[in-house]
Amino acid sequence: MAAIAPAHKVASRHAGLVRVTHWITTLCFLALLVSGVEILISHPRFYWGESGNVLTPALFTIPIPASRATFPTRFGYVLPDQNGWSRYLHFQTAWIAVIAGMIYVIYGFLNGHFRAGFAGYNLVQRLTYLFVIFVLFPLVIWTGLAMSPAIAAAMPGAVTLLGGQQSARTMHFFVSAFLFLFLLVHVTMVCRAGFRNRMRGMITGRSSTQ
Amino acid sequence: MTNISRRKLIIAGATITAGASGIAIAGRLAERYGLIPPDGGGVYGLGETMTYAAQRVLTRHASAREFASSQISKKPFANEVAPLGEEFKQLQESAFSGWRIAVDGMVARPASFSLAELKSHPAQTQITHLACEEGWSYIAEWTGVPLSHVLQLVGTLPQARYLVYRSIQSDWWESIDMADALHPQTLLTYGMNGDELPVKFGGPLRLRVPRQLGYKSVKYITRLTMRDSVKKFGKGLGSAAPEGGYAWYAGI
């Protein structure tokens, strides 16, 4: 690597595995977000407990148009049904994200990444990243799986602990919203810390020291 | 090229080769143990196969949760169906006394049953959840004959791998694997909440598959066919659902 002769100091920033899993997760995150919103549009109403439908009281309703004529809205039109490919895409990318996440976490523990790799961050940043990796991601997987009728059959405790399948759906929505908020803050901070240099760090693994 | 990058290249090559052969071996095993769904090809085939295979390995014998009668939804929601045809209306006029369900395909004794005949067999009642892929749900008490009982009567042949079931609405058909077909909670349902199964909920006869989402519980059942493959039905994707863009397996 001596061929590279930098004009200024270059520091090794992110390991290859961290960069690869980061960008796989980024793509999955966006696919899950788009498909998740599409699925939400077919029934933008939330409940608490085991069951709920348009005839029962809602916890809250999101005032947006729906993709089903059976769902009452104050809009005079029905959006096209996109649930088929959205569900296919949602589950496929969830698998990829979970596998990438597991590789990242195992690598992180073996390599001391969660200590050494986080060296450049302050306490709030470290706690935020750890909260996202070890609380929000597991929670979004758990609440998602708790909506599955087959998983509910095999692991009923995973559903009742959340308060029921509709509670799981409501929590899945809020955890996803928190993850989206994290994405916004994360991208904002990358921009403020020097977008080009930070992107270079996550793409090539190297960035200039400041 | 320096030593480090050459070593990295070799490691990366070995990893990719190992990964590719791992996927190939996993594919062979999945095929052998019937873990590839009929719509396991195409862009989303990998995800579908992983979901179906994982759920079959982990949940094959699991029972859907059953609830207390106090948890039955006071207001269940009946999803809309395509307009019911003339044939249905005529049967409805005679209180479905002429309704018959045929059982054929890979069975030793093909047969056909009227509703009265089905009701003469031991009934099962279960309080289970019906969840729509859209996100809404309700809990109801369902009464009917376990499908496994009917399959025992007609004698399913050992080579049968799928049950194809059809509605009186000709473009509505589905299929399930043997794990669901023989599952004790899969119910040929004619009663709901202590009454006859209302037409809007699928009466006179609905196949309840409680470990999958609502769209697998087809309404107005008229025919059950046992087959070793679903390739010759429709576009060969297993049911009308994948032809309309939805997954064949709806355990998630």
The C-alpha angle with vertex B121 and arms to B120 and B127, in degrees rounded to 5, equals 110
Which positions in chain B touch A154 (Cβ < 8 Å)?
58-59, 62
Residue B135 to residue A42, Cβ atoms within 8 A: yes
Question: What's the pLDDT score for residue A121?
Answer: 84
Which positions in chain B touch A52 (Cβ < 8 Å)?
136-137
Q: How far is CA A132 from the centre of its chain?
A: 9
Tell me, yes or no, whether B28 lies in a domain.
Answer: no
Tell me, yes or no, whether B20 lies in a domain.
Answer: no
C-alpha to C-alpha distance for B122 and B128, rounded to whole angstroms:
19
When pLDDT is cut at 50, 70 and 90, the band that residue B3 belongs to is: low
- Output the CA torsion A141→B37→B244→B217 (10° steps): -80
According to DSSP, residue A9 is labeled: -
Residue B216 structural domain:
70-243
Q: What is the DSSP string of A85-141?
A: HHHHHHHHHHHHHHHHHHHHHHHHHHHTHHHHTTTTS-HHHHHHHHHIIIIIHHHHH
Half-sphere exposure of A67 (CA within 13 A, CB side): 16
Can you tell me the mean pLDDT for B205-223? Answer: 98
Contacts of B70 (CB under 8 A, 6+ apart): none
- Split into its structural domains, chain B has a count of 1
Compute how many other C-beta atoms are within 10 angstroms of the C-beta atom of residue A193: 13
- pLDDT tens digits, one per residue of B14-40: 888 888 888 888 888 888 888 999 999
Can you tell me the mean pLDDT for B95-117? Answer: 97
Can you tell me the mean pLDDT for B146-164? Answer: 97
Cα dihedral across residues A72, A77, A82, A84: positive or negative: positive
Going by C-alpha positions, the residue among B214, B167, B217 that lies closest to residue B187 is B217
Going by C-alpha positions, the residue among B138, B151, B146, B155 that lies closest to residue B190 is B146
Cα of B168 to nearest chain A Cα, Å: 23
Cα of A154 to nearest chain B Cα, Å: 5
Find the helix or strand (DSSP H, E) in which B56 lies.
helix B45-59
Question: What's the pLDDT score for residue A115?
Answer: 79
Which residues of chain A form beta strands (DSSP E)? Answer: 10-12, 45-46, 60-61, 206-208
Q: Is B79 on the interface with A (CB under 8 A)?
A: yes
**Residues B163 and B176: beta-carbon distance below 8 Å:** yes
**Residues A51 and B138: beta-carbon distance below 8 Å:** yes
* Main-chain phi, psi angles of B24, to 5 degrees: -65, -45
- pLDDT tens digits, one per residue of B111-143: 999 999 999 999 999 999 999 999 999 999 999
| Single-letter amino acid code for the residue at B167 | S
Looking up residue B85, the CATH number of its domain turns out to be 3.90.420.10
Which positions in chain B touch A69 (Cβ < 8 Å)?
80
Find the helix or strand (DSSP H, E) in which A137 lies.
helix A137-145
According to DSSP, residue A55 is labeled: T
- pLDDT tens digits, one per residue of A43-60: 999 999 999 999 999 999
- pLDDT of B1 > 60? The answer is no
pTM (2 d.p.): 0.91
**Residues A47 and A58: beta-carbon distance below 8 Å:** yes
Cα of B186 to nearest chain A Cα, Å: 13
Which positions in chain B touch A148 (Cβ < 8 Å)?
55, 251-252
Question: What's the pLDDT score for residue A8?
Answer: 60
Find the CB nearest B51 among A69, A84, A91.
Answer: A91
Question: What's the pLDDT score for residue B250?
Answer: 98
Contacts of B170 (CB under 8 A, 6+ apart): none
* Main-chain phi, psi angles of A117, to 5 degrees: -70, -15
Tell me, yes or no, whether B224 lies in a domain.
Answer: yes
Question: What's the pLDDT score for residue A72?
Answer: 93
Write out residues 48-67 of B within 8 Å (CB-CB) of A.
Answer: 48, 50-51, 55, 58-59, 62-65, 67
Residue B76 to residue A89, Cβ atoms within 8 A: no
Which regions in chain A score pLDDT beneath 50? 1-7
Which positions in chain A touch B212 (Cβ < 8 Å)?
149-150
- pLDDT tens digits, one per residue of B227-237: 999 999 999 99
C-alpha to C-alpha distance for B182 and B67, rounded to whole angstroms:
22
